[in-house]
Each structure stands twice: as structure tokens, then as C-alpha cells.
Structure 1
Amino acid sequence: MVSPPVLIIAFNRPETTERVFAAVRQARPAKLFLACDAPRSHRAGEAELVAEVRRILQQVDWPCEVKTRFLEQNLGCGRAVSSAIEWFLNDA
């Protein structure tokens, strides 16, 4: 059975990302897309949270094609999410 590709869109919540990633790890998809917006420069501590989220997302420990889209400039919730979905649909 072919597993469908999976997209994880994350931002600044390591605990939530850890739970979602654990569930995805159990499914072991063959193709995994990881998208994360950049931290907002005016939010203290957000860069560290985003870095932790990205570290969690990079812990793929099963045979899998991984594609990442880790933005360098913050697009905001609307644009970051919609562009991540478009990126996923164009390549999945």
C-alpha cells in the first residue's frame, strides 16, 4: 500500500510540533513535507522557539523522502500557510 505524502506546517510551538511529529512518525509516510515560517523579529524569544520547532521536524528516523521549506523571512500566518499548501500540492 502506498502511503500518501504528508505536510506538516509549524511555527513557534515546540510542544505541539513534538506531538504532531510523533503521530506522523508512527505513520512513517514515504514522502514528508516540512514547512516553517521564520520568526518575527519584534517578538522576543521567538527565534529560539522556531529553531526548536525546526530541530524537532528534522528528526526523521525512517526511510523517507523529506522536503523542507524553512522560510528566512516571516510571511505571517496567512501567507506562510497558503504558500506552504501550494508548495506541497505542486510537488506532492
Structure 2
Amino acid sequence: MATRTKTSAADKAEARRELAASLHTSITDKVAELTSSDTWRAYLDHVASFHSYSECSSDARLWPGPANAPPHAMSTPRACPNRDT
């Protein structure tokens, strides 16, 4: 049977801090590598070509049926409360 060694709370906390620092460094490096690549630029250009839909453009035609549509989808159109128009 294997014996277990006791690890103090301070040792566990230190191990978690070291792991967090290591992960932070790794993530920072990977994000810097990603965002400086030509692939990232190509992805951003591709995504920018898609149509941007307003959050207030919901329409009953977009829902599977009147029973499933939220109340605002069945009401008459009105100004979007989040838009400055």
C-alpha cells in the first residue's frame, strides 16, 4: 500500500501560485503569438465581412412558431431601447 505524505496548506498555496504564474505566462505568450500572425488578420478580415444584426431586429418570422416566440417578437415594432436614435 502506498504511503501518503502530508502537504501543508502553505505548500499547496505555493504550488497553486506557481501553477497560476506558469499558466498566465503561457496564455500571454500564446495570445501574443496568435494576434501577431497573418492567420489572425485573415480571420478578422473574414469575420468583418459578415452582416451585423441589431439586437432589436428580432421578428416573429425568426422563431419556430408563435407559441415559442417571446412576447416582444409578436408585438408591433418599436424603437430599440439600447440604441441612440
Instruction: Answer yes or no: same fold by TM over 0.5.
Output: no
Q: Which has the higher contact order (CA 8 A, sep 6+)?
A: 1
Q: Which has the larger radius of gyration?
A: 2
Q: TM-score range by the shorter chain?
A: under 0.3
- TM-score, normalised relative to structure 2: 0.24
TM-score (structure 1 length as normaliser): 0.22
More helix by share: 2
Relative to total residues, which structure has the larger strand share, 1 or 2?
1
